[in-house]
Amino acid sequence: MAQIIDGKKISNEIKEELKDKVLSLKKDGVEITLAVIQVGNDPASSVYVGNKKKACEYIGIKSLSYELPEETKEEELLKLVEELNKDKKVNGILVQLPLPKHIHEDKIIETISPLKDVDGFHPQSVGRLSIGQKGFVSCTPAGIIQLLKRSGISIEGKECVVIGRSNIVGKPMSMLLLKENGTVTVCHSKTKNLKEVAKRGDILIAAIGKPKFINKEYIKEGAVVIDVGIHRDENNKLCGDVDFDDVVDHVSAITPVPGGVGPMTIAMLMHNCVDSIELL
């Protein structure tokens, strides 16, 4: 029987640890504040932002909300970010993506102070990760490392195959697995013989963005499978990049969708907010 990796439970453990830490910081007179900026009202973004603010409240982090209209000019957003950079009471700044098309995301991300970059998207954070220096790490891949470690799955010496090379998941994921002494392969849309390459993985991370794309033909028997995808299937049911029912009897451990990787992203955002105290 495959081990079902319970992301909800592990994220709750992390949140409880952080809650205690925030409480003890409060006793020393330290308060943590996260500024959350949303431009426009994309429904999915509103749900994510709402969940992030709820998590802040639960843990005892103060959140400041900036809900800006869709037609906000790039300069206005840059000005807000610069003000928040200077504001000593603000520890973390989160600009929810995607931004409206007329705003250059790269420019906004680069303007956020690397000391307040709780998403870990700033080029300085990415660079630090790649050379093994301390800095903010992108929340989803950081959460996956926690899922593995807290489920007793070791990474050292394992063949780790990451499918997907996005800046937010695939690339930082490969760096983190490398840091944990995994042997890492990154696959993408131009990879030849994807099935064969994926099958090398003792640990397979699926971050492709295609519903139920990965079936057991891609998976080595007894592998650990981490599913980063979140989609609606033909019956409007949530599903991942992995065809869970097809592979579950073939793997040693797997994350479900929902309740696997998803809850970890917010837990790690909270972790980064608490960490930001040490950087200021």
Which residue ranges make up the annotated binding site for NADP(+)? 164-166, 230
Neighbours of 222 (CB within 10 A): 11
Can you tell me which of 68, 103, 129, 139 binds ligand GUN, judged by CB under 6 A? 139
| Residue 96 is a catalytic residue | yes
Q: Which residues contact 192 (CB under 8 A, 6 or more apart)?
A: none
Can you tell me which of 119, 180, 202, 243 binds ligand GUN, judged by CB under 6 A? 119
Residue 11 exposure: Cα atoms within 13 Å on the Cβ side: 25
Of residues 10 and 251, the one with the C-beta less far from ligand GUN: 10
Residues 68-107 that bind ligand GUN (CB under 6 A): 94-97
| 230 lies in the site for ligand GUN, by CB under 6 A | no
Of residues 3 and 167, the one with the C-beta less far from ligand GUN: 167
CB of 44 to ligand GUN, least distance (A): 8
CB of 140 to ligand GUN, least distance (A): 6
| Residue 119 is a catalytic residue | yes
| 208 lies in the site for ligand GUN, by CB under 6 A | no
CB of 96 to ligand GUN, least distance (A): 5
CA distances from 74 to 79, 96, 163, 215, 222 (A): 9, 14, 33, 43, 49
CB of 225 to ligand GUN, least distance (A): 21
Return the beta strands (E) in 10-61 as ranges.
33-39
Catalytic residue among 15, 21, 52, 171: 52
- Pairing state of beta strands 92-95 and 33-39? parallel
| 228 lies in the site for ligand GUN, by CB under 6 A | no
For the four alpha carbons of 80, 86, 91 and 97, in that order, the dihedral sign comes to positive
Compute, in degrees rounded to 10, the torsion defined by CA atoms 110, 206, 260, 253: -140
Q: Which residues contact 245 (CB under 8 A, 6 or more apart)?
A: none
Tokens of 180: 């944990």
| Residue 15 is a catalytic residue | no
Catalytic residue among 6, 117, 119, 241: 119
Which amino acid appears at position 43 of this protein?
P
Catalytic residue among 6, 15, 38, 96: 96
- Active-site residue numbers? 52, 96, 119
Binding site for ligand GUN (CB under 6 A): 94-97, 119, 139, 265
